[in-house]
Chains A and B, each alone.
Chain A
Amino acid sequence: MANLNIDIGKLHLKNPVLTASGTFGYGTEYADFMDLSRIGGVIVKGTTLHPREGNDYPRMAETPSGMLNAVGLQNKGVDFFISDIYPQIRDVDTNIIVNVSGSTIEDYVACAEKIGELEKIPAIELNISCPNVKQGGMAFGTTCAGASEVVKAVRKAVRKTLIVKLSPNVTDIAEIAKAVEAEGADSVSLINTLMGMAINIEMRRPVLSTVTGGLSGPCVKPVALRMVYQTSRAVKIPVIGLGGISGWQDAVEFILAGATAIQIGTYNFIDPTVSRKVGEGINAYLDRNGFRSVGELVGAMERG
């Protein structure tokens, strides 16, 4: 049994497998299928300062080896999270990380401050990359100046480990990563969804109510892997890789590309136990190949 422990800032993970925001609910939705203590952590749904109804239905379109979504950050707001959800999940034996979203700097800061006070939430993932809301979100994540501004403000307000989730809908993701590193982010996670579209040809109209949406699933993996590779070589802080992971082999690829930890998103819908299996698969791979710890595997590629 290899050592699977990983540290991201002050956050200690028992293994490098996390579940991605918006795809794993609050974890409780999956408790019938697997023991949540078997994974490194659960990143819960995007949470905003005020409640959000999200976008109109239809919000989903299946695509080859993937899907488009346009949920639009539907959630009941941070106060509801604190009063109604946090008490139910605070004692789960894994790291519960909250994904914080917003449309103004003030909202991000106010929401992050409230989460910052919760004893059993060890880290915040700052979502500056949601493509599904008109205001803000991705707007911050697509320029170095916007990303710096929001990270700087949130960094001042919270002491917990701060992971910044990056948008792939940019020319140079490594530049954005460097900008948020400079403002004190402890880690970056990438990628959020890629902007895409689907058309219903019988009705001759877009499938999604919002016309465009975010693409995820195995179809985005090569793009995500390339971005993780480029980013991990550009920054010193740990990189969390995600985008299209459906099995342990994909996870090993991301780790070899330079990811310290990984997240699994869309594939939870197909196999609700995939995150547990990926952890087991990484462990078996490390043993077979004589690695004593997963840390040794990070970026351990022959060429490049």
Chain B
Amino acid sequence: MKKYISDWTVKENTSIHAHYCLLKLVSGETFPETLPGQFVQVRVDDSSATFLRRPISIHFANTADRELWLLIQRIGKGTRKLSELKPGQKLNLIHPLGKGFSIPDTKNKRLLLIGGGVGAAPLLYLGAYLKENGFQPAFLLGARSEKDLLQSEEFGKYGDVYLATEDGSRGEKGFVTAHSLLQREKADFLYACGPKPMMLAVAKYAAQQAIPCEVSLENSMACGIGACLCCVEKTKKGNVCICTEGPVFNINQLTWPI
């Protein structure tokens, strides 16, 4: 897929609870085809503290309105600056990057999309894409507390939503992998995205139940385009760059202890 560098305009920037924001961008130039699971490299600004671009998943892409949504957790200097952007300001992106999630070839599969915290970001576009293509995805979203559960209404547009929080403030209390849904029903395919321990737990469950499972990794990156070899993950084929071969991997490609 051809990659582009271009300036996007901030249309809306909404803060969500204390630590998150939803950034809606509109494209000035062409709106390239974007697949669920792909990401962008954001140029925060040209200050010395945010020198490298920041990789952010595509939360949602709307070709008709030429809109791209990013769901961002403020954890440091760069994400803080992104959360402070005002409508009308410009943001330079390299887009679209990486390979996305795989789309099953038969429609009657039960697909469960499991997200943890801000890690759920790419699952919204995946869910929308799946629904548009005749699938019926369901979402299992987990977070530390209610204040870290993001966009659950938005997810509800594309399928059933099941919730879990570690403190029990919303949905079932506990980790996503302890949710009763997983006891009641066995999905045919799992997609997981979130903190590494959560993805590892999902991967273990998937391996036990022999359910195929894809996860999306967030290794730190410099270039995002396969040039620097900084973002490698140890796979069964050796070290591979997650920015070009991923960020999505089937768990059977990885060397995780599952």
Residues on A lying within 8 angstroms of B by beta carbon are 22-25, 29-30, 32-33, 45, 53-54, 56-60, 62-67, 69, 71, 74, 217-219, 266, 268-273
Q: Using A54-B232, A59-B230, A71-B230 as known contacts, say yes or no to A29 and B225 having CB atoms under 8 A apart.
A: yes
Please, which residues of chain A bring their CB within 8 A of the CB of B229?
22, 45, 54, 59, 71, 74
How far, in angstroms, from A260 to B43 measured CA to CA in the complex?
32
User: Residue on B with the closest CB to A45?
Assistant: B229
- Residues in A neighbouring B18, C-beta threshold 8 A: none
- B234 & A23 in contact (Cβ 8 Å cutoff): no
- Counting CB contacts under 8 A, is B49 at the interface? yes
The residue on A at minimum CB distance from B53 is A270
New A-B pairs, 9, CB < 8 Å, besides A54-B239, A57-B234 = A25-B227, A30-B227, A32-B4, A58-B219, A60-B230, A67-B222, A71-B229, A269-B53, A270-B53
Q: How far is the CB of A60 from chain B (nearest CB, A)?
A: 4
Minimum Cβ distance to chain B for residue A64 (Å): 5
Residues in A neighbouring B230, C-beta threshold 8 A = 59-60, 69, 71
Min CB gap B144→A, angstroms: 17
Contacts of A273 in B (CB 8 A): 5
Q: How far is the CA of A230 from the CA of B95 in the complex (A)?
A: 42
The residue that A269 contacts in the complex, of B4, B49, B223, B238, with Cβ under 8 A, is B223
User: In the complex, what residues of B have CB within 8 A of residue A45's CB?
Assistant: 229
Contacts of A58 in B (CB 8 A): 219-220
Answer whether A24 and B227 are a contact pair too, CB < 8 Å, given A64-B48, A67-B51: yes
Task: Tell me, yes or no, whether B200 is within 8 Å of chain A by CB.
Answer: no
B238 touches A272 (CB 8 A): no
> Of A33, A56, A60, which contacts B5 at CB under 8 A?
A33
Tell me whether B228 is interfacial, beta carbon within 8 Å.
yes
Q: With A30-B225, A74-B232, A74-B239 as given contacts, are A57 and B219 in contact (CB-CB < 8 Å)? A: yes
Q: Is B221 an interface residue (CB 8 A)?
A: yes
